[in-house]
Structure 1
Amino acid sequence: MRLCYLYTLFLMFFVVDFASAQNARKTENFNTGWKFFLGDDTTAKQAKYDDSRWRKLDLPHDWSIEGKFDDKNPTTQAEGGLPAGKGWYRKNFVIPASSKSKNVFIDFDGVYHNSEVWINGHYLGKRPNGYISFRYDLTPYLKFGARQNVIAVRVDNSDQPNSRWYTGSGIYRNVWLTTTNKTYLPQWSSFITTPQVDQQSATINIRTVLPGSVNRELKLKASILDDKGEVVGATVSAVKDTVIQQGIQLNNPQLWSVNHPYLYKVKLQLIAADQVIDDYTTTTGIRYFSFDADKGFSLNGVPMKILGVCLHHDQGALGTAVNVRAIERQLQILKDMGCNAIRTAHNPPAPELLDLCDKMGFLIMDEAFDMWKKKKSKHDYHEDWGEWHVKDLQDQVLRDRNHPSIFAWSIGNEIREQFDSTGVSIGRELVKIVKQLDSTRPVTSALSDADPKRNFIYQSGALDLVGLNYHQEVYADFQKNYPGQKIIGTENMSALATRGHYDMPSDSIRRWPKDSKTPLKDGNVDFTVSAYDNVSAYWGSTHEETWKIIKEYDFLSGLFVWTGFDYIGEPTPYLWPARSSYFGIVDLAGFPKDVYYMYQSEWTSKPVLHIFPHWNWKPGQLIDVWAYYNNADEVEAFLNGKSIGVKKKNGDDLHVMWRVKYEPGILKAVSRRNGEVVMTTQVVTAGAPYKIQLKADRSKIKADGKDLSYITVSVLDKNNVPVPDVNQLVKFKVTGRGILKAVDNGSQTDLDPFVSNQHRVFNGLGLAIIQSKSVAGEIIIKAAADGLQSARLIIESAR
């Protein structure tokens, strides 16, 4: 009898594990095989509509980025002057007969905007918000077996202007098809928290909400898997109610942090009659953090500054179409600078950004809205606020709350209701919505009025964390003006710069424009801004001005620089033809501006010595030479072997400067500590442009039709010295197993299209973005320009 019992027990667990291995639910990427029409035809919702002449493409797709820059486009300069309008997507697909007794859902990660969806001619609904994820149940309207199904999506981005920055147009994020059994774990139904954590143990709580009608014979198994996939904790609970609370204790847990982003997985299995009928796996991390009114922020008990940047969601020349490698590249550039946090300005981000931040070690401030009931643009989200803000905010929190990277929710950015009493009632409403779904993280709002006596969102008393945009002049007195409150700089600096452009003298601070009503009259005729850190928008500061304050006071928990990267649209301080921002620490193409190295010298411990500007000037011209450095006591500069002086930082200095008469040759800098050389660097006068150089960020990429290699295009002289002031037109030819996806150069005023086989370099640099095909092999890139030696590069695309 005992052997029989053990055998039966073995079979029971074998069946469960086997069913789990087969995956009770199926989630598949639904991006391929779509057809697209730019325009409007309301009959396209019909299943039998003839779409044979439509363009074939794969998602994600942003049709605006494929257009031409034009100041007559209704998007206006604020959105980059790219076209918008209306578009349709359709896809034919089959569902196997084996799924006839199952549920089939379609999940959209984001569609910009006003999307409407039909399946086989049946209307499923409309979602105005272009940044939120949403789901439709296809089950009642599907055909099974060999019969064709047709899904149609109408996207209406014609209500312009509707944003203060570039949004993109279309199904620009991923789409998924999810198939489950009739009894299943609903979308976003489980919430994972770690209420008790220390170095010795951690309690992982899992709260799962099931539909109203509960089968009393169901069981829910929760397992914790380490980064090797090994089960390190598990529990099984009988389903006695619609809410199941489970707890698992882990000994000696690996804690998630920005320097050690260790991830666990939580696997949930819904079991009926010893069969796994649904399973769901999500990533989690074990960490704890706190804000203190005197000591600032700490993570896992260790005090640290939040060293953040704000990011808009476009990927430069790729537009807003989500690409994992493009997002990863941005984050790698920022990580190397020392950045440890991202604010998703000013909307729910793509899920892939959150996944990467979990994996790479970034904190996230997850922001919901740029406006509430009061508008900022003629046709922005205020038009949908009344009907949709509750649902949109709930879905954002439900979707994102299991990410360990998220440390705060922001309910709005510079909301106009902060100036009237509705800021009290709406602020309280939104915080209550968030807290009902997640009480473990603080809620803030990015406030642009720093006077606590007149800011009605602050007066609501609902915020856990005071978020201030700019107003660095009040930071030192924050504790006096906001007694007992905790603070974070939600948006800071708004410094301006054009990569590779330098105006003399550099040692005076300028505000461009001087106020919101006076047009810029003292700007540059070529619409550039000096890359010395001495120009900012009137409401902000230079990078050094605010960072000096943040680093001085412990109670200032950190900041988010506006912005990490330049972005399309909002080209303060200039009018057309400026079409991209000047705010970035890194330009639109991903090339760091000089101030990047100031942050690297302050935010990292790696040795830094960066000297600028370039060394091609008029003989006798007075040139300001700056150096950013760390891990050293002093820097000595040499011009053609002759010392021009030793400089040391005094007080709170973040750079040193020499003013020297230009003569061609070699400008060298040497940093020393205790008399020993730490680093040496130099800039060299370039001769006439002679050849093109191509350099890939990765020489081997995946043959999956998605992966990217970013090719830096440089113009060099005969001695391989980069030429800093050339703007040559370069033509590209790509053959083999890849395509030329886009081109760029980082200029804020270049109106040539991104989708092209040619582009000018800007101040000696350009960018070609290569995308793999789905077949392995070599990708051959050739670049040519009149009067220059051409270049050739081979990228390997492999499975």
Structure 2
Amino acid sequence: MKRKQQINFFLLAMVLALLGCDQNHQLAESQNFDKDWKFMLGDDSLAFQPSYKDSNWRALNLPHDWSIEGEFSADAPATTEGGALPTGIGWYRKTFQLEKPETEKQFYIDFDGVFCNSEVWINGHHIGKRPFGYIGFRYELTPYLHFGEEANTLAVRVDNSAQPASRWYTGSGIYRHVWLVEKNPVHVAHWGIFVTTPEVSAELAKVKLDIQLENRKETNLSVVVKSTITDADGQAVAEAQNKLDLTVGLSTLTQNFELKTPALWSPENPNLYTISTEVLSSGKLVDLYETPLGVRFFEFTADQGFFLNGTQYKLHGVNQHHDLGALGAAVNTRAMERQLEILKDMGVNAIRMAHNPPAPELLKLCDKMGFLVIDESFDEWKKTKAKKGYHLYWDEWHKRDLEDMIRRDRNHPSIFVWSIGNEIPEQFDTTGVQITRELVDIVKALDTTRPVTAALTETDPEKNNLYKSGALDLLSFNYKHKEYLKFPDRYPGECMLASENMSALSTRGHYDMPSDSVRIWPPAYKAPFDGNSDFTASSYDNAIAYWGATHEDTWAVVKNNDFIPGMFIWSGFDYIGEPLPYPYPARSSYLGIIDLCGFPKDVYYMYQSEWSDKTVLHLFPHWNWTEGQIIDLWAYYNNADEVELFVNGVSQGRKSKEKDQFHVMWRVPFQPGSIKAISYKDGQQVLEQEIKTAGPAAKIELIADRSKINADGTDLSFITVKVTDKDGNMVPDAANLINFKVEGEGFVAGVDNGYQASVEPFKANYRKAFNGMCLLIVQSTEKAGTINVTASSDGLDTSSLLLTSN
């Protein structure tokens, strides 16, 4: 297919902005290059050749993760650390035509992320290799392209066969977006603009824009560079213009602005400006580059914690791996947005990207929706953590990979901390001193506006070599929350961050009693472990990994000590891989506040009651037990003084939370019927919640998070599927097999049920319910219309849902 290059500049810029393209890819010369690829799982050394016959290969669009499409297996080379899904080698090919441009142009191909060990060819010419799977990269295509009728062939080999390469599920393939970029010879260099705010107050913000320009012509020439800052309403609020004589190669320019009474950026008010930089040569526009601007100021202090925009601010954070549950690692903006919406509703205001650079779209969402971000580079340095991990590439690639992360991400206002590593073994080795200093120097050469940290496990200052380097601006600690109390004495004058906390185990809808007895699974490193035969963990806050702690114990320490700026829970969502403490068939983690489907576990509401401004009353567990069985009933609440429990209408008394306790509990015998909780403030009722004993499974309930989606081929509707009795009460132990039919302008993108030991495929049109629920993900086609969703199961009433794709 020919791709016409002479397109109205401003029309395309507008269209790309509406499509939500990343700020580095919304220029008129940039085309999304995700469509019409061919894929082969397996290896063929001749597949790079343009004449290679790929007619039998699978046609698909990117982003793509081939591992998530596979079957679970105990023999998968990545084992359960990587989710027990296949890896291997795959090839991608794309054939395309280009019209010859009327003026001199340079052409580039941008990959936002390929996992991993990618090699790229254009028309048979090898143009590059990149081992690291988490960072974007660019290659120039210009010398090798054909124009007119002769086709071009882009070939990419992806090798994820060396395992184990990670401690979690990575996915395999070109799992982020690809862009074809066309540039005039004079343009802003790749990732060539850096915006900072040297001075900020409520009255005035000074803005500095450092611009790197590239002149690919053979002679010097004069250009005009004009930059305009616009607010959220599109109104111009500041402008700068410079005339510059460009030599051949790279040149730099600095522009300065002032914003009066700036709209400050924060998680609560994520106010964004846009800086549009125009490059004009002989009066003609030759490049346009847009940069996000969030005006904010912050500091960490040794005694009072963290301040944002002059106000003391507690960080309510979570850690996030990059997989999207049943969708795997393949980037989908709506799936990421949904995760952030669920976290926002819980009261989360900060995210640590564990343990690698995230997709550009995720950072853009954090800017827009309001999340502070720790951007982390590596889980591994020179010393081995995974046998086939990043240490194999460290010497050759770490400097380039870290520089690219900083240059790519440094304009995001959401990012407030750089992290150069996680639980690095070099903290116990003197080599950690030199490497830490080197990495911090790399970061500081590109950005001095944010502190640099590394997540540490060693809390003794005499034993930690990363601390001894003297290079870290901020000391981050993982776990050992009681050791935090010793920090001011051990590290006088230093600032700290609780970067990873809890590792509390739970399975949605499962409860082990007594609830006030904490289970440590396993009890110690490599100690024998005899857990539940059904591979579950309790959803009371009473099961933890041996290195971890309960949610309530940890939050009490962080909440009550100002010098601790906040904490980052491990983890926000369950993720594929690392199903500790269980072996296969467990295939995903137990450590999330939210299960793999996006269904909140009970402790979600504890945090919502502490971290959000929502009025909360959450009573659990369900009310289907054995007659006479003693049941522990918990209630999380806020904005109230006390909670009263009723069993079949009979009061069990009112209770109030004690200091450093974040729930109330009753221990009562089960009687079929109902339980009800009522919260009171100043004697007046605030909220009420009732749970009834469910009868036999009779119906299927379908609840779509969005009934109207976009007909763009990527948008999603997440449909919660509940098995209920005839009266609509969810059956808490229902495990019915649900079959799905999707007709019209949509298809099944994935299914799941949140059970960590379910080995049913994610790419299927069926799923067993787990504890009464499962999830169907429907994806749109590129044609507008209706999408009819039907769910059926033997012995249950069939249920249908109508979606609209516009």
TM-score, normalising length: structure 1: 0.96
| Bigger mean CA deviation after superposition, 240-249 or 651-660 | 240-249
* Pairwise CA distance, 1:216: 5.1
Residue equivalent to 1:375: 384
Identify which of 418, 424, 427 aligns with 1:415. 424
RMSD over aligned CA atoms reads 1.6
Counterpart amino acid of residue 477 in structure 2: L
Over 3 Å counting, the alpha-carbon distance change for 1:273 and 1:99 in structure 2 is closer
Q: Are 1:20 and 1:276, in contact at CA under 8 Å, matched by a contact in 2?
A: no
Residue equivalent to 1:551: 559
Note if 1:716 corresponds to 2:724. yes
- Name the CA distance, whole Å, in 2 between partners of 1:21 and 1:704: 16
- How big is each residue's C-alpha offset from its partner over 1:68-127, in whole Å with a ceiling of 9 and x where there is no partner? 000111111100100000000000111121266201111000000000000000100100
Identify which of 619, 635, 642 aligns with 2:643. 635
For these two proteins, the number of residue pairs brought into alignment is 783
* Pairwise CA distance, 1:279: 1.1
Residue equivalent to 1:679: 687
Residue equivalent to 2:454: 445
- How big is each residue's C-alpha offset from its partner over 1:472-493, in whole Å with a ceiling of 9 and x where there is no partner? 0111121011100001111011
Over 3 Å counting, the alpha-carbon distance change for 1:752 and 1:508 in structure 2 is same
Q: Are 1:634 and 1:672, in contact at CA under 8 Å, matched by a contact in 2?
A: yes
* Pairwise CA distance, 1:16: 12
Counterpart amino acid of residue 186 in structure 1: A
Identify which of 343, 365, 371 aligns with 2:374. 365
Residue equivalent to 2:272: 263
Identity score, percent = 56
Q: Are 2:185 and 2:214, in contact at CA under 8 Å, matched by a contact in 1?
A: no
Counterpart amino acid of residue 342 in structure 1: I
Which runs of 5 or more residues in structure 2 are unaligned? Answer: 1-7, 16-25
Give 3-state SS (helix, strand or coil) of 1:132's partner: coil
Note if 1:34 corresponds to 2:37. yes
Identify which of 479, 490, 494 aligns with 1:481. 490
Residue equivalent to 2:56: 53
- How big is each residue's C-alpha offset from its partner over 1:438-495, in whole Å with a ceiling of 9 and x where there is no partner? 0000000000111111100011010000000001011112101110000111101100
* Pairwise CA distance, 1:147: 2.0
Note if 1:623 corresponds to 2:628. no
Note if 1:562 corresponds to 2:565. no
Residue equivalent to 1:494: 503
| Bigger mean CA deviation after superposition, 666-675 or 18-27 | 18-27
Identify which of 521, 530, 546 aligns with 1:538. 546
Residue equivalent to 2:668: 660
Counterpart amino acid of residue 166 in structure 1: Y
- Name the CA distance, whole Å, in 1 between partners of 2:284 and 2:234: 22
| Bigger mean CA deviation after superposition, 435-444 or 212-221 | 212-221
Over 3 Å counting, the alpha-carbon distance change for 1:18 and 1:690 in structure 2 is closer
* Pairwise CA distance, 1:211: 3.8
Give 3-state SS (helix, strand or coil) of 2:323's partner: coil
Residue equivalent to 2:743: 735
Identify which of 94, 101, 108 aligns with 1:91. 94
- Name the CA distance, whole Å, in 1 between partners of 2:338 and 2:697: 29
* Pairwise CA distance, 1:659: 0.3
Residue equivalent to 1:649: 657
* Pairwise CA distance, 1:783: 0.6
Note if 1:181 corresponds to 2:181. no
- Name the CA distance, whole Å, in 2 between partners of 1:578 and 1:34: 34
Please list, as runs of the form range in 1=range in 2, the aligned pairs for 1:563-602 lying within 5 A after superposition. 563-602=571-610
- How big is each residue's C-alpha offset from its partner over 1:778-799, in whole Å with a ceiling of 9 and x where there is no partner? 100011111111101000101x
Counterpart amino acid of residue 263 in structure 2: Q
| Bigger mean CA deviation after superposition, 239-248 or 202-211 | 239-248
Give 3-state SS (helix, strand or coil) of 1:218's partner: strand
Residue equivalent to 1:222: 227
Over 3 Å counting, the alpha-carbon distance change for 1:756 and 1:688 in structure 2 is same
Residue equivalent to 1:201: 204
Give 3-state SS (helix, strand or coil) of 2:190's partner: coil
Which runs of 5 or more residues in structure 1 are unaligned? Answer: 1-14
Identify which of 101, 105, 110 aligns with 2:113. 110
- How big is each residue's C-alpha offset from its partner over 1:668-698, in whole Å with a ceiling of 9 and x where there is no partner? 0000011000100011100000011111000
| Bigger mean CA deviation after superposition, 658-667 or 210-219 | 210-219
Note if 1:767 corresponds to 2:772. no
Identify which of 331, 356, 360 aligns with 2:365. 356
Residue equivalent to 2:236: 231
Identify which of 59, 68, 73 aligns with 2:71. 68
- Name the CA distance, whole Å, in 1 between partners of 2:48 and 2:222: 43
Q: Are 2:186 and 2:214, in contact at CA under 8 Å, matched by a contact in 1?
A: no
Give 3-state SS (helix, strand or coil) of 1:756's partner: coil
Note if 1:289 corresponds to 2:317. no
- Name the CA distance, whole Å, in 2 between partners of 1:782 and 1:17: 43
* Pairwise CA distance, 1:240: 4.9
* Pairwise CA distance, 1:650: 1.2
* Pairwise CA distance, 1:21: 8.9
- Name the CA distance, whole Å, in 2 between partners of 1:517 and 1:240: 66
Over 3 Å counting, the alpha-carbon distance change for 1:39 and 1:633 in structure 2 is same
Residue equivalent to 1:691: 699
Residue equivalent to 2:18: none
Residue equivalent to 2:312: 303
- Name the CA distance, whole Å, in 2 between partners of 1:16 and 1:163: 43
Give 3-state SS (helix, strand or coil) of 1:336's partner: helix
Counterpart amino acid of residue 119 in structure 1: I
* Pairwise CA distance, 1:25: 4.6
- Name the CA distance, whole Å, in 2 between partners of 1:16 and 1:369: 39
Identify which of 797, 800, 805 aligns with 1:792. 800
- Name the CA distance, whole Å, in 2 between partners of 1:191 and 1:296: 28
Q: Deviation above 6 Å: which 4+ runs of structure 1?
A: 15-24
* Pairwise CA distance, 1:427: 0.2
Residue equivalent to 1:10: none
Q: Are 1:19 and 1:275, in contact at CA under 8 Å, matched by a contact in 2?
A: no
Residue equivalent to 1:9: none
Give 3-state SS (helix, strand or coil) of 1:354's partner: helix
Over 3 Å counting, the alpha-carbon distance change for 1:648 and 1:103 in structure 2 is same
Residue equivalent to 1:140: 143
- Name the CA distance, whole Å, in 1 between partners of 2:375 and 2:166: 19
Residue equivalent to 2:394: 385
- Name the CA distance, whole Å, in 2 between partners of 1:73 and 1:432: 40
Q: Are 1:20 and 1:279, in contact at CA under 8 Å, matched by a contact in 2?
A: no
* Pairwise CA distance, 1:255: 0.8
Note if 1:153 corresponds to 2:162. no
